[in-house]
Amino acid sequence: MFPPTHPALARALEERGYAEPTPVQAAVLQPETAGRDLLVSAQTGSGKTVAYGLAFAETLLDGADRFPRAAAPLALIVAPTRELAMQVQRELAWLYAHTGARIASCIGGMDGRREAEALSAGAHIVVGTPGRLCDHLRRTRLDLSALRVAVLDEADEMLDLGFKEELDTLLAAAPKERRTLLFSATIAREIAALARTYQHDALRIDTLVRNQPHADIEYRAIRTAFGESEHAIVNVLRFFESPTALVFCATREGVKHLQSSLMERGFSSVALSGELTQNERTRALQSLRDGAARVCVATDVAARGLDLPDLGLVIHADLPNDRANLLHRSGRTGRAGRKGLCVLIVPHSRARRAETLLSTAGVNATWSAPPSAEEIRARDAERLLADPLLSETPAEEDLVLARQLLQGRTAEEIAAALIHLHRSRLPAPEEIAAPVPYEQRARDRAATPARDPRGRKLREQDGAPKEGPKPPRAPFAREHGGMQWFSINIGRSKKADPKWLVPLLCRAGGITKREIGTIRVFDHETKFEILNEAVASFTTAAQAASQDGVVIATSSAPSGKFAAPAGPRPIKRKSAPRRPANG
């Protein structure tokens, strides 16, 4: 049950189906919070908008059932992004529906003249972004003289985006007797300084659970072979079939390429990046909310403040830069008590980076291979058999058509046609090469005996190798017969160069440059050496690379006059002239 709140808001909550408050909503409605400034830290998607809407209701209504005629704003909510500001406006609209509240928005990229007309007509609550609010304030369209409550939503993000000067301008124009509610994911030094400047005896409320991941989000890490990341994303989208999915890429070009690939495969998708206009962004988001599109491919900046209905799946096509970025991306799902799934696409070369990232964030992820085409088809069959349409009572007109279909056809033929029609509307799953198990690579590395820089094994004590320098570079191992020759179908005719061949081989085989020995470039191929300890995993991973036109195979040692190493020739130094005996 919700703590006691204003009757009009309690009615709206009941109509919306709210039975139990979230932790942050329950915290701001405690008796000790009445009339005080609040400094609140809470997770993304924890119900903050409803929380502060409930918190300042008595301050605005002052015991009345409904608002009087609108004049100068009584409440100002400042949000860092356009999407978050529009979301706040929608949430407050239904929460205050029975109070007669007029809610105006002032959002960058929208029609400023309409906003000016709304402010001129009067508003009880104003929601906006810092830049546009300051613009209306300078043009004397926004009057803050009667303000009773100021809310800074996601204050940490506003400071990160450089809105400190705008916040100072807005808060300085408001009466000092107002209430100030500050909501932030973290209370860093800058947030604490802002609170000391503009709040009076603020009550600190912390609803975050420290050192634990979001309880409503399940994490999975998907290992992929070289060149298979895009196919893995397709199969993840097909296997889990979330009503709405959000895929994160590191760059705008990555967003554009992946969204085009998904559209080509039959996914209804939209792209969000910084190069879109506000109208294009609005149309893209509306198509997701209407169900016309199911997948959104976005960059980190474009997805700030994004709140999508039924978002059950977040995919990291490119790994996040740090722990905060991982949690911020993943926090788009698992909101307001709903369960969510977060999937990281991890190529071989990024496996260690992914493990470190998950460990730093305190996330326990399940590692697995991408869903196979057979698993997806089996899941499709389960969904079809469990479809509610098969258990609903058919309409009379449907039965008439069904009887017509049965004339001259068997039930099996009609059922097979139904299955074919169902499958034809779904994007086809991708056939994916099996990646080398990460555990196998870890065992291979652990089994490699440690060596000193001269290639000799270190002495063992108590059955365990003694710690010493890192494993040797390839030349030392080659001297002791520990290398295997391979070839790749790229040579001088394709301008082969070790500078970019080494990274290519590392990505293709899931190895590091320490495991590559001599590289010799010929006209139509290049031969190279691989450490024996890495040969098994390299061979398996290289088979996937061959599917993209790059063929890697075992080979014999090069011979002939063109077998010289690819690097620069050594410089021959002339010997110094002998000094005469007489000096």
Please give the chain's pLDDT, 583 residues, in tens: 677 788 999 999 999 888 888 888 888 889 899 889 999 987 666 788 999 999 999 999 988 999 999 999 999 999 988 888 988 999 999 999 999 999 999 998 788 899 999 999 999 999 999 999 999 999 999 999 999 999 999 888 888 778 889 999 999 999 999 999 999 877 777 888 888 888 988 999 887 654 445 567 899 999 988 778 999 999 999 999 888 999 999 888 999 999 999 998 899 999 988 778 778 888 888 888 888 899 999 988 766 667 776 788 999 999 998 887 888 888 888 776 678 899 999 988 788 899 999 988 888 899 999 999 999 999 988 888 888 777 778 888 888 888 888 888 888 888 888 888 878 888 888 887 666 555 555 555 555 554 444 444 444 444 444 444 444 444 545 444 578 899 988 888 888 888 888 888 887 777 778 888 889 999 889 999 988 888 887 887 777 655 556 788 888 888 754 444 444 444 444 555 555 555 4
Nearest to 505 by CA among 517, 493, 494: 517
In the CATH scheme, what is the code of domain 7-206? 3.40.50.300
pLDDT of residue 560: 58
DSSP H or E segment with residue 459? none
Strand partners, 77: 127, 151
Residue 162 DSSP label? T
- Residue 467 identity (one-letter amino acid): E
Q: Report in angstroms the alpha-carbon separations of 115 from 108, 118, 229.
A: 10, 5, 45
Q: Report the C-alpha gap between 320 and 180 in whole angstroms.
A: 34
**Which 3-state string (H, E, C) describes 275-307?**
CCCHHHHHHHHHHHHHCCCCEEEECCCCCCCCC
pLDDT of residue 545: 56
pLDDT of residue 173: 93
Nearest to 88 by CA among 184, 12, 152, 8: 152
Crossing angle of helices 252-264 and 229-240, in 10° steps, is 60
Q: Tell the burial category of 25 from Cβ atoms under 10 Å away from its Cβ (0-12, 13-18, 19+).
A: buried
Handedness of CA 186, 192, 193, 195 (dihedral sign): positive
In the numeric block, the tokens 């490119």 are attached to 318
List of residues 6+ apart from 551 with CB closer than 8 A: 488, 489
pLDDT of residue 302: 67
pLDDT of residue 454: 42
| Paired tokens of 319 | 């790994």
- The answer to whether the pTM exceeds 0.85 is no
Give φ, ψ of 449 to 5 degrees. -65, 140
Handedness of CA 350, 352, 353, 354 (dihedral sign): positive
- 13, 2 Cβ separation under 8 angstroms: yes
Q: Answer whether 7-206 and 217-375 agree in fold.
A: yes
Using only the alpha carbons of the chain, give its radius of gyration. Answer: 32
pLDDT of residue 97: 93
| Paired tokens of 5 | 């709140």
What residues does each domain of the chain span? Answer: 7-206, 217-375, 449-457+469-554
| Paired tokens of 32 | 């000790």
Compute the residue count for the chain.
Answer: 583
Q: Report in angstroms the alpha-carbon separations of 79 from 91, 128, 167.
A: 13, 6, 10
Q: Report the C-alpha gap between 135 and 119 in whole angstroms.
A: 13
Q: Report the C-alpha gap between 130 and 576 in whole angstroms.
A: 75
Q: Report the C-alpha gap between 224 and 230 in whole angstroms.
A: 9
Q: Report in angstroms the alpha-carbon separations of 529 from 421, 426, 567.
A: 52, 45, 15
List of residues 6+ apart from 512 with CB closer than 8 A: 506
Q: Report in angstroms the alpha-carbon separations of 487 from 25, 455, 507.
A: 63, 26, 15
Q: Report the C-alpha gap between 465 and 460 in whole angstroms.
A: 4
| Paired tokens of 556 | 């014999």
In the numeric block, the tokens 């071989």 are attached to 348
In the CATH scheme, what is the code of domain 449-457+469-554? 3.30.70.330
Which fold, 217-375?
Rossmann fold (3.40.50)
Handedness of CA 318, 319, 321, 325 (dihedral sign): positive
